[in-house]
Structure formats: structure tokens, C-alpha cells
Structure 1
Amino acid sequence: MAHHSRLCNLVIDCPVEDLGPAAEFWSRALGKPIASVDQDGDGKYAELATAADEPQILLQKVDHAARVHLDIETDDLEAEARRLEALGAKRIEFVHGRWWVMQAPTGHRFCIVRRQREQFGPHLNEWPD
């Protein structure tokens, strides 16, 4: 059986106390309105509005250096992790039982997450298991 994945999020990691000013800056810089300054009600994520065929742009409050990372969404976390390991990636941490933090052979960190939007597509890749 095949599984699917695609790039879904560009995540701007922000070592700040308040995501409001960061969301305002990135909204103006990227020309995307602010969808939410507190996506989940816990102050950890802000979201900029993007079209359904674009990756979501999230701002994440973090305790590490500022950076940008990618999220790949999938309908099978384990199959996608195995596929990426076969390409040379390493599993770093399974967070809150919900997503994998991975490391590419280049040293870049990225996440494998469950499907993020109700419609799973477009630009969907299909991978044999």
C-alpha cells in the first residue's frame, strides 16, 4: 500500500515572549495577512493566511536560536519516517506522540507531521511502501 506526503508548513522559529510583533513583521514582509496570533490558544503558534495550494506559514515560540524549518505532512508517519531514513535522514525525537523531528544528512532539522488541512492536496506525492 502506498502512503502520501507533501511540504505543508514553513515554520519560523522565534525566541520571543510574544509572537504578536513577530507575526506583524512577517505578515508585512511576506505580504500575507495574519490569520491568528495564537493558533491553539496556548501562545506557542501564530499563523499567516495562505492559499489552499500554498504551504502554511507558522511562527513558533521556541527556546532555541531563531531559524526556519520545514514540515512535511503525511497520512502515515511511520512509513514516511522510514522513507526519509532510507534517504539518509535520522530520527531525533517523537514529540508529544504527534510528530517526528528529523535531521537531514545536511544537518537541517525538519518535522514529519500528520495531515494539516482538511483537503490533503494538491501537490501530493505518492510513495510505495
Structure 2
Amino acid sequence: MAHRSRLAGFIIDCNTDNLDAAADFWSQALGLAIVDRDAGDDTAEYQQFGGTPADLCIEVQKVDHPSRVHLDIEADDVDAEAARLEALGAKKIGFIKRWWVMEAPTGQRFCVVKMHHPERGAPPAEWP
């Protein structure tokens, strides 16, 4: 069965006790407004920017691991997309709540997440 996927956006992982200050820095550095200071849920703290290029999702996230930036790939079938990426050489690191954390053959971590707004932004690619 075919599925679709595309770049969803970038997550700025911040190992910090003050996510507001981190989000304020990145807001000013990127010239983007913070549109949701409470974009997370009971288990994760996120702050989301608006007015992003190509309608990409750009967020800061409070994390326990070292600070870094990772990208998200969104798909209408998360498992099918993870399998497609494995066939290209990526590794599944773990399933967290509702997305796959993966690692590229060159070591970069990224996530495969559920597509929420296929009508926005660039059209998704279709995969057999």
C-alpha cells in the first residue's frame, strides 16, 4: 500500500531548566514569533514558532540529552515510512508514544511522526 511523507520541520532540543529563555533566544535569532508556549503535553515541553518558511514546524523542546537540532519527517503511515527509511540504511532507535526515533547511516538522529496537515506546505512525496 502506498504512503506519503515529507519534511515536517526542525526541533531545537534544549538541555535547559529554562525553556522560556531558550525559546526567546531562538525566536530572536530566527526572527520568528513564539505562537504557542505550551505546545507540549504531560510528558514533553515544547514551544512552537509561527510564520515559518514553507509552513515548516519549528519548535524548541526541553530534553535530558545533550542539546542538538533534529528534523522530523511526517508520514501518513509512520510504520511504512520507518520501514522505507530502514531499507535505505537508517536504524530504528525506539518508538516513543506515537513516533519513531531513527538514526541515519551517518549518525544523525531524526523522528518519523504522523502527518497532521497534508494540505499545507509542500506536497508530500508518494512511495509505493
Same fold (TM over 0.5): yes
Runs (5+) with no aligned partner, structure 1: none
CA RMSD of aligned residues (A): 1.8
Using structure 2 for the length normalisation, give the TM-score. 0.90
**Once the two structures are superposed, what CA deviation does each residue of 1:71-123 show, in whole Å capped at 9, x if it has no partner?**
00000011101110010000010002x00000000010000000133635423
1:33-112 equivalences in 2 (<5 Å): 33-40=33-40, 42=42, 44-51=45-52, 53-96=54-97, 98-112=98-112
CA contact (8 A) 2:52 2:58 kept: no
Using structure 1 for the length normalisation, give the TM-score. 0.90
Structure 1 residues 5 and 120 mapped into 2: Cα distance closer, same or farther (>3 Å)?
farther
Runs (5+) with no aligned partner, structure 2: none
Percent pairwise identity:
53
How many residue pairs get matched? Answer: 127
- Matched residues in 1 for 2:103 and 2:120: separation? 24
Q: Match of 1:119?
A: 119
